[in-house]
Structures are given as structure tokens and as C-alpha cells.
Structure 1
Amino acid sequence: MQDNLQFHRPSENLPPLQPGEAQPSFSDLQQAAEWFAVLRDEDAGEAARRRWRQWLEEDGGHRAAWQRVETVNAEFGVMPEALTHRVLSQSGLRRRKAIKTLAWLATGVTVAGGLGSSREVRDYVAALNAQYRTGVGQTSRQQLADGSILWLNTASAADAEFSDVLRRVVLHRGEIMIQTAHDNRQPARPLVVDVAAGRMQALGTRFLVRLEDNDTMLTVLEGRVMVTPSGKGTPQLVEAGSRVRFDEDRVEAPAPSDESMAAWSRQLLMPDGMRLDEFIAELGRYRRGYLGCAPEVASLRLVGVYPLNDIDRILNTLEATLPVKVRRILPWWVTVEAAAPDRHPE
């Protein structure tokens, strides 16, 4: 039986979610994953499917949760990483044709909920064709033509375009860190990082740029960076030890930053009083599938150093040191929940 349960997609029998309709709770998501596990079993009968359909029709949050589970499953069934690797290993005309094919497949993911607009599809294809790329759980260190160092975090993609007047890095997806080098050209060429929301110009610096759902996060560790939004926002100079969020129309007030935010470049996570739900969300960037945190344990705080080369070991450590348990409903659907009342870490 195929993992992707296309034969009973709820969209075939239920009205689509309406704007403002209930969003799935953690409990909704757990129930949806459990139903997915039941229905993928070859022994699941019509009675089980009727109960599933009844559950699905009860609440908009149930339908939204089911769509989320299907979307996560589609990451494994629609665009397998091996296919992407084979496409990108081509060269010349064959590579360009193959990328067009992946672009067509990407529009299919849009239907499944993975991509939401033509702009996102364009960004997705640009990332596939980028000069520098990393997969989920991978990081990379690159030396650019001027001697600057570019680090890429998990699932990231960027291009470097150097001309006679400008040193330009374009971030398409994920997160990068740049350690700028002195430009030997006279006059010296500015080094900039471009994202859809605007441009960042380095002023002798080391800094991180991270694309998030609706914003871009800039973290300056050394030197200064000038942020210029691409819309109506006012340019802002960001000093070392600060981070800002910005979009096309505004730059938020700076917040403090520190070296722990660059720990991923050494394959580490270093929470210092971080909430458990925030830590789990960050950890989830380094593995495929869904990694969730129950509301009952979300506010627990973490400190320490966690190597990113073994996510399961990190989860086991959480079980051993916090009053939590790790629940694996499916290989790609894992949650951190409250431990039984009589269980306490040693």
C-alpha cells in the first residue's frame, strides 16, 4: 500500500477550509496522525474509514489537521530527495529541462498545500538551481571569490554574483552566515545580501540572514549592516550584538543577539534558557517530517550544548533530563509530550 493516501483525500468529499476557519490544535494534529497510521494499514476496513470520515466532518480544525498530515507525507511521496539529486546532477540543456519538470511538480505540491503562490514556486525553482545548496540536516562552508566565507544552514540555497562594481549574494531559501573579507579591488566593491524583502550591505562584518515565513531575520555578530527594505521601509543601520526582523515595508526595533545564534555553523544548538517548544521548532529544521511539542510542556526551559549530527540522541536526552516522553506515531511524525505522572528523570 502506498504511503501517500490519495484514494481518500478529504478534499474530494468535504468543502474546503474557509478563511478564518478553525486552525488545528496540537490534539487535532495528533488525532490526524493517528488516523493516518490506521488508514495506511492494509487491514483497515470500511468501518474504520467511516469513523475517520465522521471525525473529519466534526470540525474545521480536524480537516486542517488532516491536510497538514497529508502535506508532511507529500514531502516524502511527491518530491523525493533522490529525484531532486538526479535532476541537479544533470548538465546543460538536460539539466534545464529537468528543472522545468521539477517546477511543474512543484505546482502539484501547491495543490497539496506545500507551496502557496506563483512567487513561492519561482523561489522554489530558483533554490533548486542555486549555486550553493544544502539538504535537510546538512550545513556547508564555502569560500567565495573575494576570500569571504559563506556558511549555509540546513535546507538552504544561495547564489554569489560578483561583478566589477558589486559583490552580491542572493539568499533563496534557509539561512546563511557571512564573514566578509577585504576587497582587493580599487575602489572596493560593496558586499550585499539580497532577499525578496530587501538588501543588506555589510560594513566589515560577520552576520547571519535567515528567511522565515513572513519576515527576514538579520543577526549582526561583528561590524555593522545597513538594511534597506525593498518597499516603503526606512533603511536602518544594525550594530554588532543586535538582530532585527524586517519585511518589504518595515524594519522592527533591534533585539539583543549573541554567538549562540551561529552555533549551527559548528553543527551545534546552544539554548540558553530557551523554551522547549522553541527548541523543538528549531530542532525540527534539521530533520524531515513533523516534530511537535505538546502545550503542557512547551514552557520548560533548556540550557546546554546539543550536537546536531544525531537528532534521535537529542530526543533521548530530553526524555532523560526533562519530565517528557517522545512519541513516534509515524516514522515522520514525532512529538514531545508530558511524561506519565509517576515518571521523573534521574
Structure 2
Amino acid sequence: MSDEQDMERDERRRALSEAAEWFAQWRSGEMTEAQRDAWQEWHDSGAQNRWAWARIEALSQRLGGELEDDDRQAVNGVIAEARRRRTGRQRLWNGLASLMAMAVLTGLAWQPLGIDDWTQRWGADYHTATGEIRRVTLDDGSRLWLNTASAVNVDDASPGLRLELVSGEVLIDTGRGRLVVETPNARLTPLGTRFDVRLGDSDETLSVFEGAVKVRPRAADRASEASRVIETGQESTYTSRSVASPRPAEPAGDAWTGGVLLADGMPLGQLVEELGRYHHARLRVAPEVADQTLLGAFPLQDLEQSMRMIDNTLPVRVRRVMPLWIEIEPDRVASVTK
């Protein structure tokens, strides 16, 4: 391991230890305004600190919601140990390591991706982190926009160009050459076009904005019969065995390439779910207000601004439980006033 790698490892260990201490203070419920300001200064002072805080919060949210009572008490004990800080930073690191190990042993993960998926994403030719949107121009003139937490591989060794969508979502504006897109469920053959592909848990969604795209499912009994061409202005959801009948595509479905989510009567629950893809945060919408609809352009990468827009538009209360834990509830005061 190089000196540079050693330094990075030590820096991350330092940041995680400090994050554990800050998190313990947040959990105590005894933080003063001055301490909150100090936490904010620490959080904003470096990328490693922000990374460490996101990891601690993500793990805590998973554990807090899914562990049994006995395990949750054990986790709280680890956090309490961090708070006491009796034996220095090494004990803090050991406590944090124990917390992570407990997550593994109980079958949980601190990120939605498993190790294999995580390795595939970050080992891909082009990839993005959570919240990142990236534009890539290929040798044949094709342009790609990778959405948050996405990855693609590019193979130009065979005739034409072959893209493999490993994870997430990509918008493709085809160039002058032949192009094929491979996904876990299908092979897509664009016919001079601009289209978007998004992977889901079990199915995938194709939206065509220009031209047409042929979808050929991988596991269909007769792939030729199961294939379907999706035309301009259409979108379809497909699995490895079948392609659903096309429906009208959202006209502004590619607005995310400019960092914007356009809502035209979009339910609040759906909007917040979309925003959550771009942030290391826990966003919860109370069922009573989840169906309220919004109209507007919401900045995908500015969570604070989007929350303010929601708060100012709907009769709801945006409540920050912790820095990266936000709950949206009915505004009781507004309801009484009405």
C-alpha cells in the first residue's frame, strides 16, 4: 500500500471516529446551539467529514429500523461508548467497527448495493456517485448522461459500439455509428435516437424521446416474438421475458440531465422518493400527505431548496429530525386555521 493510500485510510478512520462522537451527541438530545454550530463547521470543513457522517447516518437508519430490541440496545451501547470517550480514539474506532460488523452479521448493509454490485459499479468504465450527474462523449459522437449512482461499460472492440448499463440510469443520444445497449433484462437496438434507460429492482424502463428503440428480452421463450419497437414519445417497462405495451412518455423525462426534476401534478410521495436518489439522507413522507400533488421545477442536487419549495407550496411541515433525516408531516396549524 502506498503512502498516499495510507494517508487516505488514516484520514477516513479519523473522520469516522469524529463522526461517531458527533452522532453520539446528536443521539443524546443534549446538544446546545453552539455545539450544533460546531458540528456544522466540522461537517462542512472537508469531503472526508461529509463522507463519514453520511456513512454513520445511513448505517444508523438501517439498524434503527430493522434490528430486534436486544440488538438495538447493543447498538445504542456502542454509541454510548463513543460518547463517553474514556479510552481515546482507538476505542471509538473499535466501537464503530463493532457497529459495522453487527450490521453484516444481521444480514444488513450500510448501502443499498451489495459488495459485488458496488465493485461492479465503481469498476465500470464510467460511473457516478450518489447525487452526481455526468456527461460523456464517446469516440463515435454518441453522448451519454449518467444519472445518480449509475455505471456503464463501453466496448468498441466489436463492430459498432456496445454499451452495458451496470446500474442506475443513462440517457443516450446516439452518434453516427451502430450502437447496441445491453442491460440485465434485454438488448436494446436504437434506430438513430435519443432515449433513456432506467434499471429497477426486477424490471427496467425505456423512454424514447427521438427515433425508435427495439427491445429484445433476454430470457423470452421466443425472443423474436417478444421483441417490441418503442417509438418516439413512448415508454415501456420490460422484464427479461416480456415487454409491456408502450404508453406515453413523460415529455420532460430527460430534465434530470440539467439537474432538475419537473413535477406536473406529481404526488409528494413520488417526488420525495425521486429526490432521495440524489442524497445520502432519510426522507420520510407521512401517508396523510403523500398523495398531495405539486407543480414546479425542483433542483435535484439542492435538497434544502427543494424542501423549502415543498414547505412553501403545500400545507405540510418539513421537520429535520437530524441533519440528514427529514420528515414531512401534515401542518396541523394550517389544518386548524382552515
TM-score with structure 2 length normalisation? 0.67
- Would the aligned equivalents of 1:170 and 1:194 in 2 still touch at CA under 8 Å? yes
Partner of 2:305: 313
Partner of 1:133: 127
Mapping of residues 250-329 of structure 1, within 5 Å: 250-329=242-321
| Distance apart, 1:146 and its partner CA | 0.4
TM-score with structure 1 length normalisation? 0.66
Amino acid at match of 1:209: V
Amino acid at match of 2:205: M
- Would the aligned equivalents of 1:199 and 1:227 in 2 still touch at CA under 8 Å? yes
Select which of 180, 196, 215 maps to 1:192. Answer: 180
- Would the aligned equivalents of 2:315 and 2:334 in 1 still touch at CA under 8 Å? no
1:271 alignment partner, SS class? strand
Change in Cα spacing, 1:67 to 1:4, as seen in structure 2 (3 Å) is farther
- Would the aligned equivalents of 1:289 and 1:332 in 2 still touch at CA under 8 Å? yes
Amino acid at match of 2:66: W
Change in Cα spacing, 1:213 to 1:38, as seen in structure 2 (3 Å) is farther
- Would the aligned equivalents of 2:203 and 2:237 in 1 still touch at CA under 8 Å? yes
Q: Deviations over 1:196-242 (max 9, x none)?
A: 11111111100001111221111111111011111116111111111
| Distance apart, 1:39 and its partner CA | 9.2
Q: Distance in 2 between matches of 1:40 and 1:64?
A: 12
Select which of 28, 39, 47 maps to 1:41. Answer: 28
- Would the aligned equivalents of 2:26 and 2:322 in 1 still touch at CA under 8 Å? no
Change in Cα spacing, 1:325 to 1:169, as seen in structure 2 (3 Å) is same
Q: Distance in 1 between matches of 2:138 and 2:147?
A: 16
> Which 4+ stretches in 1 moved above 6 angstroms?
1-5, 36-39
CA RMSD after TM alignment: 3.3
Select which of 202, 205, 222 maps to 1:217. Answer: 205
Mapping of residues 55-204 of structure 1, within 5 Å: 65-67=65-67, 108=104, 111-113=107-109, 121-183=115-177, 190-204=178-192
Amino acid at match of 1:201: T
Partner of 1:228: 216
Q: Distance in 1 between matches of 2:128 and 2:324?
A: 20
Q: Distance in 1 between matches of 2:29 and 2:244?
A: 52
- Would the aligned equivalents of 1:149 and 1:178 in 2 still touch at CA under 8 Å? yes
- Would the aligned equivalents of 2:163 and 2:180 in 1 still touch at CA under 8 Å? yes
Q: Distance in 2 between matches of 1:143 and 1:39?
A: 44
1:341 alignment partner, SS class? helix
Q: Distance in 1 between matches of 2:215 and 2:125?
A: 24
Change in Cα spacing, 1:225 to 1:300, as seen in structure 2 (3 Å) is same
| Distance apart, 1:258 and its partner CA | 3.1
Unaligned runs of 5+ in 2: 1-16, 31-61, 76-100
2:241 paired with 1:249:
yes
Amino acid at match of 1:122: D
Q: Deviations over 1:37-73 (max 9, x none)?
A: 8994298xxxxxxxxxxxxxxxxxx9993349x9xxx
Amino acid at match of 1:217: T
Q: Distance in 2 between matches of 1:215 and 1:167?
A: 24
